[in-house]
Chains A and B, each alone.
Chain A
């Protein structure tokens, strides 16, 4: 087999390993910009099923996030996963809803997430982020959204928009005996993560980037710098529209 053919064959086969469920997750996201016609508290309810998640490179969106995520705290309320039944029920219902989309069974999405036990639940005020083996579920008083679990290597971040304001989820792997993880953000603040099951998760209501991670374990506390790609220019809001 010639090198050209080998490359084509290898790439085609490797590309085919991407699960159909990942494609389906992307199709289910609502990417469209929204109109800013409601007051922030009302938008929180109106966008209950938006499920908008974004990539890692979105820009800081301004003051809307703090209003949209009122009650957020930099330190999580550690919630025993088994007792977060209301949130988990919301997440399970959302997974079931996604699995029933017309193309779900064709793409094998029905098996994703449903019936799996959550690994961690990170609660801050009225918002809870639940980490499943293959998914993340983010739920608030009036919304629940799913996204694929982010890369396990290092500290992965993903920034999404709700109410036109950004929030960022961070996820990473930690040593089994790690007891605390804190992320320092480029706005000067810090966020304490929820740690367990060799993983940690945290989120904050802005597109600020972590600049370092501090991990505490039996051998002490260690910090490492982090760097992420430069954020692009914030999307320009046209009159009457919010960012996606």
Chain B
């Protein structure tokens, strides 16, 4: 990786870090785990940069890696937590501050956390990333129909958990 390629990659990292980190965080729900996922993503992009830089949207390539790593990482973390909670290696859980709006957001985030990692990724990509259904499908390597169905089921699950009742509070 030399010269112009080198500069292109540095620029890419500079621009990609923040949106990747924030999106991954919403999926894994742990800031440090999100950092790990983004690091791994950028390492993989770096190894393929000469090819990636010629892609129409290198950021989409990085996003695909990051989101899929995030889905895997979340599953692993859940297993670790379950195994260790009773052994004195306690997870740290943050509690939201106590005002109404924050509580609503915390409730909604808690409801989102109860979705499967893949369903949550769909919601994050659609509603935080503002991606189209086709772009979400490309990111997750599935069909548009699957994205539509997953979105529909996820929203239904959120409604079932009373999330949309906030509208009337």
Where the two chains meet, the residues of A that have a C-beta atom closer than 8 Å to any C-beta of B are 1-4, 6-16, 18-19, 22-23, 25-27, 29, 31-33, 53-58, 147-156, 158, 172-175, 178, 213, 215, 217, 222, 224-229, 235-236, 243-244
Q: Please name all residues of chain B whose beta carbon is closer than 8 Å to the beta carbon of A54 when the two chains form the complex.
A: 39-40, 43
Closest chain B residue to A103, Cβ basis: B14
**Contact at A58–B35, with CB atoms within 8 Å?**
no
Beta-carbon contacts under 8 Å, B76-120 to A: 76-77, 79-81, 83-84, 87-92, 104-105, 108-109, 112
**Contact at A3–B69, with CB atoms within 8 Å?**
no
Q: Please name all residues of chain B whose beta carbon is closer than 8 Å to the beta carbon of A156 when the two chains form the complex.
A: 32-33, 36, 80
Min CB gap B15→A, angstroms: 10
**Contact at B127–A235, with CB atoms within 8 Å?**
no
Closest chain A residue to B129, Cβ basis: A11
Closest chain B residue to A161, Cβ basis: B43
Q: Please name all residues of chain B whose beta carbon is closer than 8 Å to the beta carbon of A11 when the two chains form the complex.
A: 26, 112, 123-124, 127-128
Q: List 10 A-B contacts (CB under 8 A).
A: A3-B155, A3-B158, A15-B128, A26-B13, A26-B17, A154-B77, A155-B80, A156-B33, A172-B89, A228-B80
**Contact at B36–A33, with CB atoms within 8 Å?**
no
Which of B53-61, B133-141, B160-168 makes up part of the contact surface?
B160-168
Q: Please name all residues of chain A whose beta carbon is closer than 8 Å to the beta carbon of B81 when the two chains form the complex.
A: 153-154
**Contact at B40–A56, with CB atoms within 8 Å?**
yes
Alpha-carbon separation in the docked complex, A136 to B128 (Å): 31
Min CB gap B110→A, angstroms: 10
Known: A3-B155, A150-B33; 9 extra A-B contacts, CB below 8 A, are: A3-B164, A6-B166, A7-B123, A31-B39, A31-B43, A33-B47, A148-B31, A151-B33, A153-B81
Closest chain B residue to A217, Cβ basis: B88
| Selected contact of B21 from candidates A8, A22, A58, CB within 8 Å | A22
* Given A13-B105, A55-B36, A155-B84, also A8-B75 (CB < 8 A): no
